[in-house]
Amino acid sequence: MTPDSVFTGAPSTVPELLEEEISEKIDEIADLWKRGDLIVYLGPELYPESPDFPTDPKGLADLLSGRVAVPGRLVGRLHEIAQYIESHKHRKTLLSLMGEIFRKKTAPSPVHRLLQMFPVGLVVDTWYAPGSSEFLVGPGDLQISGVSRAEYRDRWFRIDRRTSSGWEPAAEVPAGARVLYRPLGTMDPGVEVLVSDADFVEVLTEIDIQTPIPPFVQKHRSGRHFLFLGCRFDSQTSRIFARQIMKRSSTSHFVVRSGTLTGKEQIFYEREGVARLSLSLNEGFLPELEKRLRLG
């Protein structure tokens, strides 16, 4: 569950797109978005400036270890630190700390603003910050969030409907509903997250046969394309979750990702049919995408 080292050997197996090719890919993304054939998959790196909460696993690990003393061998290792806190201080302490770290008000990111203007049927958010729950789920919309088997022995996820006054449990997802899927859990309507080693062992044992993936997600993804924004796939866990959530979808997807890739990220993109747009998310990609979405 630790990041891969930066790949410095053979040239990238994911060729850099030329400027003209990038423009064509943005045209294609906008067209799929308008047709309802795109699923937006969010990671933690959505904000142009650093928010008041961590935007990567190491930053979260450092904050947790700053609040509870942990053995030095665990420094920087998020899931192991969370497991230590859960085992030695109780799970309630772990959830309380997660709530303290992430329950801070912030303005919507540019990605959230774009999704508010041009909603899609399914957004997947793979981080703990509450922004997507706050900004993308309006009255009548639904949120499906993963839950820990430490708290729910009989299910893998919960469904909640946003109401005009808060949230209410929902038994199923009606046809035509807009859905936010949070596979690692949520801060709203309560703090319920997958973060410790034990949490992930339970899910990863079953995810290959799709048991933890909600039926709505399995059905909705069929034939659709994924757009990955603010994501890094430099850990085995992040790649496993993405691969299983994408299963049986289209064979053509997109990621906006600048900077250096790890070797395993490159292999992941190649094997999963993910075209990489090497652009800054907020300054390069989103303004161009918004122009195209406004045309239609």
DSSP line for the chain: -PBPPBP-SSPPSSPPPPHHHHHHHHHHHHHHHHHT-EEEEE-S---SS--SS--SHHHHHHHHHHHS---GGGTT-HHHHHHHHHHHH-HHHHHHHHHHHH----PPPHHHHHHHHS--SEEEE-SS-SHHHHHH--TT-EEEEE--TTT-SS-SEEEEEE-SSSEEE-SS--TT--EEEETTEESSSS-EE--SHHHHHHHHHHGGGTTTS-HHHHHHTTT-EEEEES----BHHHHHHHHHHHTTS-S-EEEE--SPPBHHHHHHHHHHTEEEE-S-IIIIIHHHHHHHHHH-
The domain in which residue 203 lies consists of 19-295
In tens, the pLDDT along 100-133 reads 999 888 899 999 999 999 999 999 999 999 999 9
Q: Which pLDDT belongs to residue 66?
A: 95
pLDDT tens-digit map of 166-216 = 999 999 999 889 999 999 999 999 999 999 999 999 899 999 999 999 999
191 inside domain: yes
Q: Does residue 240 lie in a domain region?
A: yes
**9 within a domain of the structure (yes/no):** no
On whether residue 78 sits in a domain, the answer given is yes
- 14 in a structural domain: no
On whether residue 91 sits in a domain, the answer given is: yes
The stretch 86-99 carries a mean pLDDT of 97
Residue 10 belongs to a domain:
no
7, part of any domain? no
- pLDDT for res 178: 97
Q: Is pLDDT above 60 for 6? A: no
Q: Using a pLDDT cut of 70, give the percent of the chain over it.
A: 95
Number of domains in the chain: 1
User: Can you give the pLDDT at residue 3?
Assistant: 47
